[in-house]
């Protein structure tokens, strides 16, 4: 005889709650066509330490909500999405009964995503393993679908266009930015609303999300007819991007590093003398006195306010690198230490990174300020305001903001809110958020260039860049997928170091070719920025087969200066090509302005996969060789040395015009085109606005 079981499901003011086996599971409408799912052992669910879901709570959705309950099942429907809960019983299992979740498309009944066990005996689909304190190690598993394609999850460096089959860490690292949001070809978007360090695996047998330490499970899922609807819904609940300033769409000049005020100004003046467009010039690290002082070294930068005024008078904005690191010898260290404003360690030496500084004794140990402490954020910003903003600096290069801990042991970090493993992925977003708030308080329309980001960073006007990558073809190829995944993660302001960061030698023909092809890509990227640590000019070009050496200690070279990295630094032939490309970038700025405005309004990525604009191009889910810049330009970067021509598959829906020749191709054609230096394959929709066509025809 079947025993009578108490119904585990209740409707609590429009929120579906299941209490079973000591776990509380809560599903509530959150924005249109979306639900938020939280679970935790115990009587109640909790908020995560940091949440990306800042908007769109249960009272704000416009779509209709319905809850149905029976003794062993329940459902909640919010517009297009339905979450079905069912008490499942498994023979031979360690824990035979559990409540599982299945997400359906409400109007068709089609399964979008469903929980599953990795083995029938266990663990459960939502497995909480107790840890010290009120924290759990969490593993959540879902079905895997053979026909599914997944995009997003931040900025990776694996080069894969499709995340299906990818296993990756959910820990911020240099060049690896974690934004735990993905868009599925099955018609759903999924946000892992958990700042904990962990992993994500999109395997062929299951999908697994893990958190190394967390107070509870929290994720958000939405249903949409296409990627556009899904990304728009994501922006609705996490915040929309501000409008980007017009100047940021131009050309940015940067290198590691300009050492003095005179050197920086002389470079800007030379751009203007040569009649080359320049919108921004960037001051890299070690312009400061010590890490954590957060101020100019007046021996090298004697009058920053005058410098900013002069550069702005010739149409050039200034950006300054600011790190969140604090030296033990900084003038702010004692105040921050005694005020509890620094990250600490759970055990061992109370410092989290060893780095170089402007110190004759070489590398030293440093702390990061604690971005999880609102008082620390306020103090940090007060110093930034006094030493930079009050001098006219509006734009900040927020470097090393993962935070870059060496070695990376977040479980050994103690923050204002608890153990680092529970929240460290959200550090960059909180850091960026306070900068944006501070700029708003001052009435400044500043831009933030950041090496890392988390869910919601886009709402703070953040440009993500690809980090400290190598100057070679393999790393260059990886940047196409990196930019595309960033856009599909909701972060549309993106850029790369043109030419790569490490080991570029301007004296070699091999690097000059790579630089030109990378520059082509940079011109057709959302943000166009030349940067890198170039081999110093005086270091000889290595002979074939010889290892590249810098000729002295690399640490000292970082502190002093790398080689030249201006448009004219690589010989007359390269200069002529890059000059022409800068003309193209300038001509494209009105078009790019429209693209960025659409991103601010709807979340449409400026740099997007082909399928985002052409849903029937199924094969493009695996494509990291082509992309769309806005809705009208198809770009195919040259990704191999010695390339003279390329074959490019064109989407079927339109006729296409080859930008450099004006030749017309039918949709679905394989266009075979020449690609001399400065002319990577670019195609314009024939139906595009006339101004987009004119951006090229006026130059040919």
Q: Would you say 234 and 189 are in contact if contact means Cβ atoms under 8 Å apart?
A: yes
Q: Would you say 536 and 557 are in contact if contact means Cβ atoms under 8 Å apart?
A: yes
Coil/strand/helix, residue 513: helix
- Does residue 297 have an active-site annotation? no
Q: Buried b vs exposed e over 352-361: b needs ≥16 C-beta within 10 Å?
A: bbebbbbeee
Q: Which residues pair with 11 in a beta bridge?
A: 16
Which among 212, 229, 402, 586 is annotated as catalytic? Answer: 402
- Does residue 402 have an active-site annotation? yes
Q: Which residues pair with 675 in a beta bridge?
A: none
CA-to-CA dists, residue 610 to 186, 421, 537, 696, angstroms = 17, 37, 41, 21
Q: Residue 386's CB: how many other CB atoms inside 10 A?
A: 12
3-state secondary structure 7-76: CCEEECCCCEEEEECCEEEEEEECCCCEEEEEEEECCCCCCCCCCCCCCCCCCCCCCCEEEEEECCEEEE
- Does residue 94 have an active-site annotation? no
Which among 148, 212, 300, 468 is annotated as catalytic? Answer: 468
Alpha helix (H) residue ranges in 195-303 = 227-238, 261-273
Paired sense of beta strands 198-202 and 177-184, if any: unpaired
Tell me the Cα Rg of the chain. 26
Report the C-alpha gap between 405 and 525 in whole angstroms: 30
Q: Which residues pair with 69 in a beta bridge?
A: 74
Which residue, among 259, 389, 373, has the nearest Cα to 322 in the 3D structure?
Answer: 389
Q: Would you say 453 and 490 are in contact if contact means Cβ atoms under 8 Å apart?
A: no
Which among 236, 357, 399, 404 is annotated as catalytic? Answer: 399
Coil/strand/helix, residue 584: helix
Q: The tokens of 499 are what?
A: 């030419």
Q: Residue 672's CB: how many other CB atoms inside 10 A?
A: 11
Q: Which residues are catalytic?
A: 399, 402, 468
């Amino acid at each position: 005889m079947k025993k009578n079981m108490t119904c585990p499901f209740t409707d609590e003011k429009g929120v579906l709650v299941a209490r079973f086996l000591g776990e509380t599971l809560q599903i509530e409408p959150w924005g249109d066509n979306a639900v938020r799912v939280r679970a935790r052992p115990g009587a109640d669910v909790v908020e995560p330490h940091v949440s990306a879901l800042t908007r769109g709570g249960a009272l704000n959705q416009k779509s209709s909500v319905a809850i149905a309950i029976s003794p062993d099942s329940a459902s909640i429907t919010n517009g297009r999405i339905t979450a079905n809960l069912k008490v499942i019983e498994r023979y031979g299992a360690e824990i035979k009964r559990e409540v599982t979740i299945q997400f359906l498309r409400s109007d068709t009944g089609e399964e979008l995503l469903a929980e599953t066990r990795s083995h029938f005996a266990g663990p459960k689909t939502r497995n909480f393993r107790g840890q010290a304190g009120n924290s759990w190690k969490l593993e959540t598993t879902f079905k895997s679908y053979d026909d599914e394609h997944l995009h997003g999850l931040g900025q990776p460096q694996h080069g894969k266009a499709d995340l299906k089959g990818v296993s990756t860490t959910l820990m911020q690292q240099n060049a690896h930015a974690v934004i735990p949001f993905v868009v599925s070809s099955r018609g759903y978007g999924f946000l892992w609303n958990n700042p904990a360090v962990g992993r994500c695996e999109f395997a062929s047998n299951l999908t697994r999300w893990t958190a190394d330490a967390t107070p509870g499970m929290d994720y958000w899922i939405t249903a949409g007819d296409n990627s556009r609807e899904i990304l728009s819904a994501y922006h609705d609940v996490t915040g929309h991007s501000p409008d980007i300033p017009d100047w940021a769409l131009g050309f940015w000049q940067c290198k590691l590093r300009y050492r003095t005020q005179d050197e920086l100004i002389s470079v800007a003046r030379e751009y203007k003398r040569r009649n080359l467009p320049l919108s921004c010039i960037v001051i890299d690290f070690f312009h400061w006195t010590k890490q954590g002082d957060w101020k100019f070294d007046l021996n090298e930068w004697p009058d920053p306010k005058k410098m900013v005024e002069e550069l702005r008078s010739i149409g050039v904005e200034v950006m300054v690198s600011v790190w969140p690191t604090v030296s033990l010898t900084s003038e702010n260290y004692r105040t921050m230490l005694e005020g509890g404003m620094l990250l600490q360690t759970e055990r061992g030496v109370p410092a989290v990174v060893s780095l170089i500084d402007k110190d004759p004794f070489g590398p030293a140990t440093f702390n990061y300020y604690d971005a999880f402490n609102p008082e620390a954020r306020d103090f940090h910003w007060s110093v930034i305001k006094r030493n930079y903003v009050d001098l006219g600096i509006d734009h900040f290069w927020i470097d090393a903001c993962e935070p870059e801990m060496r070695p990376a042991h977040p479980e050994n970090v103690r923050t204002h809110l608890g153990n680092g493993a529970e929240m460290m992925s959200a550090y960059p977003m909180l850091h960026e958020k306070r900068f944006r708030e501070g700029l708003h308080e001052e009435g400044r329309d500043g831009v933030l260039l950041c090496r890392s980001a988390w869910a919601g960073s886009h709402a703070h006007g953040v440009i993500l860049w690809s980090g400290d990558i190598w100057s070679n073809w393999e790393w260059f190829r990886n940047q196409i997928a990196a930019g595309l995944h960033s856009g599909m993660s909701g972060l549309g302001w993106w850029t790369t170091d043109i030419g790569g960061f490490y080991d570029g030698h301007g004296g070699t023909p091999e690097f000059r070719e790579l630089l030109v092809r990378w520059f082509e890509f940079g011109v057709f990227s959302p943000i166009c920025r030349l940067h890198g640590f170039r081999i110093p000019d005086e270091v000889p070009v290595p002979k074939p087969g010889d290892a590249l050496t810098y000729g002295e200690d690399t640490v000292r070279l970082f502190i002093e200066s790398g080689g030249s990295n201006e448009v004219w630094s690589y010989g007359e032939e390269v200069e002529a090509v890059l000059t022409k490309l800068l003309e193209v970038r300038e001509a494209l700025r009105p078009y790019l302005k429209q693209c960025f405005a659409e991103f601010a309004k709807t979340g449409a990525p400026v740099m997007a996969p082909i399928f985002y604009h052409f849903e029937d191009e199924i094969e493009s889910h695996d494509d990291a060789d082509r992309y769309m810049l806005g809705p009208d330009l198809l770009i195919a970067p040259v990704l191999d040395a010695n390339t003279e021509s390329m074959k490019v598959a064109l989407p079927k829906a339109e006729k296409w015009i080859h930008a450099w020749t004006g030749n017309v191709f039918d949709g679905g054609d394989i266009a075979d085109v020449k690609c001399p230096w400065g002319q990577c394959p670019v195609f314009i929709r024939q139906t595009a606005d006339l101004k987009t066509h004119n951006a090229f025809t006026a130059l040919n």
